[in-house]
Amino acid sequence: MIEELLPPGAIAVETRTDPPDAVLFPEEQAELALAVEKRRLEFTTVRHCARSALARLGVAPVAILPGLRGAPQWPAGIVGSMTHCAGYRAAVVARSEELATIGVDAEPHEALPPEVLTTVTIPEERERLERLAAQQPAVHWDRLLFSAKESVYKAWFPLTGRWLDFEEASVDFRAPDHESGSFYARLLVPGPVVAGVTLLGFTGHWLVRDGLLFTAIAVAPNGSSAERTIVL
């Protein structure tokens, strides 16, 4: 499903189960010394997906350890993103000559708790969410906006190495329908520079299907939005 949101050059592997043959490298195991079973399963399966995706690029299996702020440390010359939620895990990778950065996120298609919504949005976004909810109530726009911001952060961090607060980007959904569409995340802080281009924001795509929602961002090496070829 998530591959429908991605441009050529990006390889996605996803699963809705935790394969019993998924294994970790010893150094990855060490990261889970105090982890509960849920965390162990998520961590293990998403890395299983990542190694499967890397294999399709001809990259040998390697440990994928969490680095600064938990961001996955990819092999040299590789960019990627991982996501997991209840009943879903996925990893997306690409060669750095194909894409400068990737950010993906998956969430259950259900409403955000009200206290979370006020934490992750700014007033202009809440106004837009009210209009969208009135126009297309079948979509949980609040959860979709949260997912979009997660994808924004995952695309931002490898380019900057810096934290990005929820209130430092404003997400606007463009020409959406009941199942899919695009969004633009306008950065409210100075953006990263890619190939001499200062990014003012990120363009992404979203999809709702089978009780889940997905968002994805991909930036080309020249700093432009890397567009998918499949029209949803």
Q: Kindly list the averaged pLDDT for each block of 10 residues, start to end, along the chain of length 232.
A: 93 95 94 91 96 96 92 96 96 96 97 92 96 92 97 97 96 81 96 93 95 96 66 34
pLDDT score at 34: 86
Which residue from 111, 101, 109, 61 is spatially nearest to 78, judged by alpha carbons?
A: 101
Contact criterion met (CB below 8 Å) for 146 and 131: no
Q: Enumerate the CATH 3.90.470.20 domain ranges in the chain, comma separated.
A: 2-98
Beta bridge partners of 198: 193
Phi, psi of 38 (to 5 degrees): -60, -45
User: Which own/partner contact pairs does 225-231 have at CB distance under 8 Å and 24+ positions apart?
Assistant: 226/7, 226/9, 226/10, 226/99, 227/7, 228/4, 228/5, 228/6, 228/7, 228/8, 229/7, 229/8, 230/4
pLDDT score at 47: 96
Contact criterion met (CB below 8 Å) for 143 and 111: yes
pLDDT score at 223: 74
Does the domain made of 2-98 have the CATH classification 3.40.640.10? no
pLDDT score at 175: 65
Measured CA to CA, the distance from residue 76 to residue 216 in angstroms comes to 22
